[in-house]
Every structure is written in C-alpha cells, then in structure tokens.
C-alpha cells in the first residue's frame, strides 16, 4: 500500500512538473497545465491514476480553503465591512439572474421536471473560486477594481452554497436522514431561528478568538523561534476554524476566509502568508489535476452534441449576465470582457450539489453525470477563453476605451 501511495505521488508530481512548464512556455495559464496533466494521467486517457479522481478532489479542496485564508489576510475587517453592500448587490444579481435564465430555458426547451431544472440551474450558477482567483493572481489583478468585483461575486456564491444545500431536500421525497453522505451539521435538528443564532455565535466567537486568543498564542509560539512550529500553528488555525464552520453546516472555505480577515491586522500577517502559500499552491495544483482527471470522456463520446452545446449555452448565458452587470457598474469595456469571461464557467461546488442531488433522487444519475461533465469541461475551457480574450479581444477594447 505504501508503494502504491509513493507511485501515485510520483505520477502526480511528474505530470505537474512536465505539463505546467510546457503550458507556461506556450504562454498559457498554469491552471491549464494542471488540467491537461490531470486529463493525460486520468482514467480515460493513460489510466495512471485509475478511478482515484474523487479522492484527490476531497483532499485537494483544502487548497481552495487555504487560498481564501490568504485572501482574507489581505483584506482588513474595515475594508471587508465597507464591501458588504457590494458583495450582496453584485453577488445576488449574478446568482439570481443566471439561475432564473437557466431555469426558464430548461422549462421551455428540456423535457425535465421543474425540480430537476431548478436544482441544475442552482448548481450551474456558481463559478469556480479556485480558477478565477488563481487567474487574477497570476495576472496581478487581485487588488484592482476588477479583482474586487470578481471576489465579491465569488464570496457571495460561497456563502450561497449553504442555503442552496439546505433548500435542496425540500425538492426531494427522500428522507434526508437516510442520506448518509449528505452535508452533516451538528445543529441540523434545531429550529431555524436557533440555528441562525448558533451560526452568528460561531462567527462572533471566531472574531473575538482571533483577536484575544489566536494572536496572543502566536506571540508565545513566535518566542520559541521554531519556524516549523509556527507553520504547524498556522495550519492548525486554518484547519480548526474550517472544521468548526463545517460542523455547523457552513462552508469551510468561508471559515478560513473569516479567520484570515480577523488576522489581517496582526503583526504576523506577512509571516502567515509566507508559511501557508507553498501548501496552498501545491494543493491547488492537485485540485486542478483532480478536475482534469474527473472528466468522463466516455459520457462525452456517447453524447458529444449534448455536452458541448449545453456547455456553450451555459458559458454564453453566464457571460451575458456578468457582462451586463459589469456595464451597469460602469467598468471599462476591456474589464467587462475579462470579468464576464473569467466567471463564465461552472464551479467546484457544482460537483457537490450534483452529488447531493443524486443522493436525494432529484436528478437521474445519468443526467447528473452529464451535467458534471459539462461543469468540468467549462472549467477546462476557461483558460482557453481567457487566452482568446487576451490575444484577440483585449487589444481592440483597450484601444476603443482610449479613443
């Protein structure tokens, strides 16, 4: 078993080391390199990693958690509070607009029940936090107006996953308690008002614990002058807060982001960034490898027209909604295109929602697997679309803005 683990580790690392530099040499995103590496070593091409794709995804999602922790470290609480209307306004407009258009389209043109159409619409309305934020970071756009707009929409989506997962059982005739693999929460049996109070209490606890417990504890650890102990403490902080949020039914990534915001004003901010960043980069790479490996090419070959047309329509709908939103917020034309194309894909939470819908028997297994193939393909297509925008669209839109 140890041999198998070491062999798989060699395969993952070798694929990344070979494919990512090639992608960068060709002027492509490192994300595309990881995705292509996952496709090549996945079960449907060379088959080096068998059917392990989902296991990688569960582990590598921790990279997304740490990425949001680092973003939180760069956002002071006062700035975050000032962005609250921006987050709710842009985020809700994107999520509701995309969901309504997709839902109406499914009702008119697809032979699906309204429950199936609504569940799929909610899953596809979400974008990929990992792909968008990593792309913005590579382009140095995280701290720009475009970066803040993208972050606001993504953060709202991450928060929205919680009520979406709570709403889905209402569409099902299956007893939620019988679904052993569904989202588990220690407070699921309590009344809604009490659940809300507990969640608010947890959030308040994280805030005050960050200021009056975590920071003093980091002072004590820093005095030991043991770098590895400080790194372990930083990882413990991220994992502990994420796990506590998961226990009450909230997103672990959201918990990590909150912990980062709380510690943004501490003197350990830059040291924490330096310690966490290498783990974040490696695990995010594994996440993209997992996405590439999880693409079911057998499903695509069986019904290529449905997968590609569905994916193209999804991208177009999200692009139009995001482009109009960006225009409404009076951004420049080149920023409109980058914003709309960057968030036009489906996201990693779509896999979670589709799996949950299968367990609740809201969506037939074959259809759910086809939708997950569409999600994966849209994520793979994003770096190519961004490249097309950079090479063909951006030069003309930038010139027009200057005229």
- Per residue in 217-243, pLDDT (tens digit) is 888 888 887 878 887 887 788 888 888
Residue with tokens 């003197």: 267
Cβ proximity of 300 and 101 under 8 Å: no
CA nearest to 23, candidates 301, 283, 290, 289: 289
CA nearest to 75, candidates 238, 264, 271, 263: 264
CA atoms lying within 13 Å on the CB side of residue 168 = 29
Cβ proximity of 338 and 136 under 8 Å: no
What is the rounded CA–CA span in Å between residue 138 and residue 140? Answer: 6
**Secondary structure percentages of the chain, helix, strand, coil, to 5:** 80, 0, 20
The SS3 call for residue 47 is coil
Cβ proximity of 103 and 165 under 8 Å: no
The SS3 call for residue 248 is coil
pTM: 0.75
- Per residue in 158-191, pLDDT (tens digit) is 778 778 877 887 887 665 544 444 445 666 667 7
CA nearest to 259, candidates 279, 281, 276, 282: 276
Q: Residue 361 region, left (φ>0) first, then alpha (ψ -120 to 50), else beta?
A: left
Per-residue model confidence as pLDDT tens for the chain (403 residues): 455 667 777 888 888 888 888 887 777 777 778 888 888 887 777 777 765 455 566 666 677 777 778 777 777 667 777 777 778 888 889 999 999 999 999 999 888 889 999 999 999 999 988 788 878 877 777 777 788 888 888 888 877 877 887 788 788 766 554 444 444 566 666 776 777 787 778 878 877 887 788 888 888 888 887 878 887 887 788 888 888 877 776 667 777 877 887 777 777 777 777 777 777 777 778 777 877 777 778 888 888 888 899 999 999 999 999 999 888 877 788 888 889 998 998 887 888 788 778 878 888 888 888 888 898 888 888 888 888 888 888 887 765 544 4
DSSP string, 303-354: SHHHHHHHHHHHHHHHHHHHHHHHHHTT--HHHHHHHHHHT-S--HHHHHHH
What is the rounded CA–CA span in Å between residue 113 and residue 121? Answer: 12
């Amino acid at each position: 078993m140890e041999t198998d683990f070491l062999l798989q580790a060699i395969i993952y690392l070798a694929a990344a080391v070979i494919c990512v530099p090639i992608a960068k040499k060709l002027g492509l995103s490192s994300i595309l390199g990881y995705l292509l590496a996952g496709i090549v070593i996945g079960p449907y091409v060379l088959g080096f990693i068998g059917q392990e794709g989902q296991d990688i995804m569960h582990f590598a999602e921790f990279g997304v958690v740490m990425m949001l922790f680092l973003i939180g470290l760069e956002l002071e609480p006062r700035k975050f509070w000032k962005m609250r209307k921006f987050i709710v306004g842009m985020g809700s407009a994107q999520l509701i607009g995309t969901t309504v258009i997709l839902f109406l389209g499914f009702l008119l043109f697809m032979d699906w029940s309204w429950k199936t159409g609504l569940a799929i619409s909610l899953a596809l309305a979400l974008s990929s936090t990992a792909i968008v934020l990593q792309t913005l970071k590579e382009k140095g756009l995280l701290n720009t107006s475009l970066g803040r707009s993208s972050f606001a929409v993504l953060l709202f989506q991450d928060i929205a996953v919680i009520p979406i997962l709570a709403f889905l059982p209402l569409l099902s005739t299956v007893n939620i308690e019988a679904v052993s693999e569904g989202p588990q929460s220690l407070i699921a049996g309590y009344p809604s008002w009490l659940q809300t109070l507990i969640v608010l209490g947890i959030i308040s606890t994280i805030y005050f614990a960050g200021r009056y417990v975590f920071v003093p504890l980091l002072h004590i650890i820093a005095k030991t002058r043991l770098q590895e102990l400080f790194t372990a403490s930083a990882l413990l902080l991220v994992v502990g807060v994420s796990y506590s949020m998961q226990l009450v039914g909230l997103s672990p990534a959201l918990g990590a982001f909150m912990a980062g915001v709380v510690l943004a004003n501490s003197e350990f901010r830059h040291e924490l960034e330096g310690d966490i960043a290498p783990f974040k980069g490696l695990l995010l790479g594994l996440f993209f490898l997992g996405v590439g490996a999880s693409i079911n090419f057998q499903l695509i070959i069986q019904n290529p027209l449905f997968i590609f047309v569905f994916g193209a329509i999804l991208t177009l709908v999200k692009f139009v909604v995001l482009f109009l939103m960006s225009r409404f917020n009076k951004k420049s034309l080149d920023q409109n295109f980058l914003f709309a194309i960057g968030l036009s894909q489906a996201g990693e939470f779509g896999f979670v929602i589709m799996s949950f819908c299968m367990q609740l028997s809201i969506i037939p297994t074959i259809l759910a697997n086809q939708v997950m193939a569409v999600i994966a393909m849209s994520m793979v297509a994003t770096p190519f679309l961004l490249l097309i925008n950079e090479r063909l669209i951006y030069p003309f839109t930038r010139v027009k803005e200057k005229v």
